[in-house]
Structure formats: structure tokens, C-alpha cells
Amino acid sequence: MFRRKHSHNHQENDSSQDAKVNELRTAIGPISGRSLQYCTDACLRRYLEARNWNVDKSKKMLEETLKWRSNYKPEEIRWHEVANEGETGKVYRANFHDRQGRTVLILRPGMQNTSSQDSQIRHLVYLIENAILNLPEGQEQMSWLIDFTGWSLNTNVPIKTARDSANILQNHYPERLAVAFLYNPPRIFEAFWKVVKYFLDPKTFQKVKFVYPKNKDSVELMSSYFDVENLPTEFGGKAKLQYDHEEFSRLMAQDDVKAARVWGFDNKLHHVNNGYSGAEVVPEPVPLAPPAS
């Protein structure tokens, strides 16, 4: 009896959520082109979820993103434009997924190699878009692993960069981050964190987990998300962490072709030297489930 009642409530909940999705779609009015492709039902749900299913607030949030995307054009960033930021592997997509099939980004702030805030953020945005591009069917989120090896207040991300990155993530990629594990941060990081946590909305803040190798609970939490065999030793696992910039660059160049197809723009300008003919990258019909970020 209890069970049936429970599932009935759940269905009601689902149908009221669907109604909110439709309400939000009506509220944003006619859109076309990439904005329309971006605004899948799944996308609208993420914006509603981020604003506790308040349609007015979700509309405001989504409109800000559509404006940001049309100016910043994150889907048009090409690897060769940000590759120099990636030379040390300070942020890259891991070659393994978490237990739920999520794309994993590895962030190593101690490997900072440049000083231009704008291009650092552009590089991060490229990799967030790339993580989304590589999500398996039915999975909408990514996991972040943050390794503090080599981190000090000198290599530290300036507060402004941290704030701007956090704002882009939570304002323009709502509900895309499942969890961010901060692995064994040094004591001195606590001062930095005290400031940064004020930039995070409550939903994002809850997704940040500190993991200390000597703390059994935090290690267990981590292994509930990751298979120790896949996990690099830097995060308490058994795998060897290897970042090969040339190999990763080849992978990203292939993904750039894929992104161009998905978003329906011609990639031939960027790939003249790669032996691609324009014919191979003609925009295909919009797939049923384009990556909505």
C-alpha cells in the first residue's frame, strides 16, 4: 500500500516537472539556430533543477546563458587555440569514467604554466564542453578530480580566476558537475578555500568533497565513485597518471571535428592540414539528443 502511494506521488511529481519544462519553454519564447539546439528538454530540466523549479528564476538563468553562449561561443573553441594551456596537463579529460559512466576531468592546479586569466578560463570552458561531448547516452554529468601535488600559494589560481571559473560552471553549466573531489589539499589551501567557498552556490558547494588518504570515510566515499584500478596513485588508486600532450592533442583534434558536426558548422577551415575534405564534415541533421550543456 505504502509503495503504491509513493510511486503515485512520484508520477505526479514527474508530470508537474514536465509541465514546468513546457512552461519554461513557452516563457523563453521563439528561439532558433544553436540556441534552439541547446535548449533540449534535458537542458531545461537542469536549469529548473538549479533554481529549485522556479520558472521565473530558471528563465532568467537560461537567458543569461544563451546570451553568454552567443558572445563567448564555447562550442567554437578549437583545441589549437587553447593547446598551449594544456602543455603540462593541468586540466584534461581522463581516459576512464567513474562508476556511473560520467566523464572525468582531472585538474592539477600545481601544474599551472601560464598567466593569462582569459586563456586559462577559455581552456577550462573548452574541456567542460569536451567532457559533455563525450558523455555516454543517458548520462548528463561529469566528475572532477583535483590533485594538489606541487600546489603552493605561488602556483595558486588567483582568487579572481577561481571566482570567474566557478561562476561560469554554476551559471552556464548547471547540474553538469556531479562531484568534485579535492584530494589531500595542503593545510595552506584552507585559507584559500575560506574565500572561494563564498562564490559557490549551495548546490555547487554540496558537490565539493575533501578527501584525505588517512580518513577512512572520505576514502570510502571516493571509492564509491571510482574503481581503484582506474584511479591514478595521485588519488589513492592503482593506475599510473600519464599525460601525453601530443596524444591528447590528437584526440582533441578528432573531437573538434565531432563538435563541428554536432553543432552543424563547417570545420574545414580549421582542418585544412589534417587531410579532411569539406565533404566529410558537412553539417548532419541535428541528432535527437544533441549535447546540451
- pLDDT one-digit tens code per residue, 126-144: 999 999 999 999 999 999 9
Question: What order do you get walking across the sheet with 142-147 strand by strand?
Answer: 91-97, 103-107, 142-147, 177-183, 208-211
How large a percentage of the chain has pLDDT more than 90? 72
Reply yes or no on whether the pLDDT at 207 is more than 70.
Answer: yes
For residue 75, what is its C-alpha cell? Answer: 562550442
Could you report the per-residue pLDDT of 13-27, keeping only the tens digit for each? Answer: 888 999 999 999 999
Please give the average per-residue pLDDT across 171-175, as a whole number. Answer: 97
Contacts of 244 (CB under 8 A, 6+ apart): none
Query: How distant is the alpha carbon of residue 68 from its chain centre?
Result: 16
Nearest to 22 by CA among 37, 41, 35: 41
Write down the pLDDT at residue 149: 84
Distance, in Å, from the CA atom of 216 to the CA atom of 132, rounded to the nearest integer, reads 32
Domain 16-72 has CATH 1.10.260: no
- The CA-CA-CA angle for residues 231, 237, 241, to 5°, reads 55
Region 243-259: mean pLDDT is: 96
Length in residues, the chain = 293
CATH domain 81-254 topology: Phosphatidylinositol Transfer Protein Sec14p (3.40.525)
pLDDT at 6: 40
For residues 283 and 266, the answer to whether their CB atoms sit within 8 Å is yes
Q: Alpha carbon of 141 to those of 13, 46, 82, 101, 223: distances in Å?
A: 22, 10, 23, 9, 18
Q: How far apart are CA 65 and CA 58, in angstroms?
A: 11
pLDDT at 165: 94
Q: Is 105 helix (H, G, I), strand (E, B) or coil?
A: strand
Q: Strand, helix or coil at 143?
A: strand
115 or 23: which carries more pLDDT confidence?
A: 23
**Structure confidence at residue 12 as a pLDDT band (50, 70, 90):** low
Q: What is the pLDDT of residues 263-284, one digit of tens each?
A: 988 645 444 333 333 333 444 4
Residue ranges covered by each domain of the chain = 16-72, 81-254
- Give the pLDDT confidence of 59-110 residue by residue, as tens digits: 999 999 999 999 999 999 999 999 999 999 999 999 999 999 999 999 998 8
Q: Hey, which residues does 93 pair with through a beta bridge?
A: 105
